[in-house]
Structure 1
Amino acid sequence: MSPTAPSPESRRRGGSDRSGSDPGGRTAPVVPTGLVAAGSLVTGFAVAQATDVRALGGLVLLAGAAWCGRQWWRQGPPTAVGLLAGYAGAFVGSHALAREVGAWPAVLSVSAAVAAASWVAADRHRR
């Protein structure tokens, strides 16, 4: 079998190889969605704070949610909907939590929670 041929497992699933192989035989790394989700929450807040333009931070959040949502959808609609709801809830919850512990601790806390939920619901199954 040539290095670019789909694996038997891939053929059974009826899809492409989930390892990210491209036609050249190289493999793309599997990026954990929890890392992207948490990173977009932190980066979105940092962008909004640094520029004083909340909409720019919102664009970062939307980009992160869109990318993660697409990856989560592959685990099934209930997983995607649940994790996207958790992502949105974390964003809203960080505002309430910030009144108690401060802005950065709140953002970092909810980001860690989103990363953990993403790992449990989606990322650990992608290996």
Structure 2
Amino acid sequence: MATAAATPLRIPSAAVAAGAAAGGLVGGYGIARWTKKRPLGGVALAAAGAVAARQWQRTGGTKTAVGLSAAYVAAFAGSHPLAKKIGAWPAVLTVAGAVAAASWTVTRRAAG
């Protein structure tokens, strides 16, 4: 019996970048909180940020990568004062959503 070759799943690069950015913010916080080792959360945050930045550079070029990387770092920094107002998890989820939306919007526009 002959089988058809499976078509590889193509995930849009905008989705990969948005997921890496949001995942880095949420994952970094989660790791830091659950392990009680903030540097370990920072490693996860930085690694996911590097993956996202590489994807942003591939999709939109250097200016896009620099701009969205700045937004990523600003979101991380901004989550701290926001957490004092709305709580830690809501703050992290809010900034992760904002970065993911910005990433999706900018990289889709750059790729299309």
Structure 1 residue 28, shift from structure 2 partner: 5.1
Note the residue ranges of structure 2 that are not aligned, 5 or more in a row: 1-5
Note the residue ranges of structure 1 that are not aligned, 5 or more in a row: 1-24
Matching residue of 1:47 = 31
Taking the aligned partners of 2:108 and 2:42, their CA distance within structure 1 comes to 24
Q: Cα RMSD between the aligned structures?
A: 1.9
Matching residue of 1:104 = 89
Structure 1 residue 35, shift from structure 2 partner: 1.3
TM value normalised by structure 1 = 0.75
Residue 27 in structure 1 maps to residue 12 in structure 2: no
Matching residue of 2:40 = 56
Taking the aligned partners of 2:36 and 2:111, their CA distance within structure 1 comes to 37
**Higher relative contact order, structure no. (Cα contacts within 8 Å, ≥ 6 residues apart):** 2
Q: Which has the higher helix share?
A: 2
Percent identical pairs in the alignment equals 49
TM value normalised by structure 2 = 0.84
User: Counterpart of 1:68 in structure 2: which amino acid?
Assistant: A
1:121 to 100, 103, 106: 106
Structure 1 or 2, whichever has the larger Rg, is 1
Structure 1 residue 111, shift from structure 2 partner: 0.3
Residue-pair matches, total: 104
Residue 95 in structure 1 maps to residue 99 in structure 2: no
CA contact (8 A) 1:44 1:57 kept: yes
